[in-house]
C-alpha cells in the first residue's frame, strides 16, 4: 500500500520516501493481521465449533482494513471514495496474488527438498 501511494503521487520510490507511508501502514496492518489470523484460528477449531465466529472475525478484519485503506488513500491523495476504492482493490489484489505465488513457490521447494532427502 505504501508503494501504491507513492506511485499514485508519482513520487520517486526511495528508502527515505517510503519510510513515512510504510510506518503508517504498520499501524493498519498489525490489527488487520491479528484479527485475520484469529478468525482463521477460530475457523480451524475441531468439529467446526468456531466457523461462525471465525467467519465474522475474518469479515470484520477485511471490512475494517478496506475502509482504513480507502480513507488513507482519500486523505493522502486528496481523491474521492470511488478512485480510492479502485486503488485499494487493485493493490490488495496484487498483494494477495503475490503472497499466494510466494506460498506456492515455498511449498513447491519444500516438497522437492523433502523428496530428494
Question: What pLDDT, in 10s, does the model give residues 66-91?
Answer: 999 999 999 999 999 999 999 999 99
Predicted confidence band of residue 36 (pLDDT cuts 50, 70, 90): very high
3-class SS shares of the chain: helix, strand, coil, % to 5:
85, 0, 15
**What does the domain layout of the chain look like in residue ranges?**
2-116
Predicted confidence band of residue 117 (pLDDT cuts 50, 70, 90): low
Percent of the chain with pLDDT over 90: 90
**Considering the entire predicted model, what is its pTM?**
0.85
First-to-last alpha carbon distance for the chain, in angstroms, is 40
Amino acid at each position: 500500500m505504501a508503494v501504491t501511494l507513492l506511485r499514485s503521487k508519482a513520487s520517486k520510490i526511495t528508502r527515505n520516501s517510503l519510510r513515512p507511508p510504510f510506518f503508517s501502514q504498520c499501524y493498519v496492518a498489525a490489527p488487520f493481521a491479528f484479527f485475520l489470523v484469529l478468525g482463521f484460528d477460530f475457523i480451524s477449531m475441531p468439529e467446526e465449533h468456531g466457523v461462525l465466529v471465525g467467519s465474522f472475525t475474518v469479515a470484520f478484519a477485511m471490512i475494517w482494513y478496506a475502509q482504513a485503506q480507502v480513507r488513507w488513500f482519500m486523505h493522502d491523495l486528496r481523491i474521492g471514495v470511488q478512485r480510492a476504492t479502485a486503488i485499494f482493490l487493485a493493490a490488495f489484489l496484487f498483494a494477495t496474488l503475490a503472497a499466494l505465488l510466494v506460498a506456492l513457490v515455498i511449498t513447491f521447494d519444500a516438497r522437492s527438498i523433502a523428496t530428494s532427502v
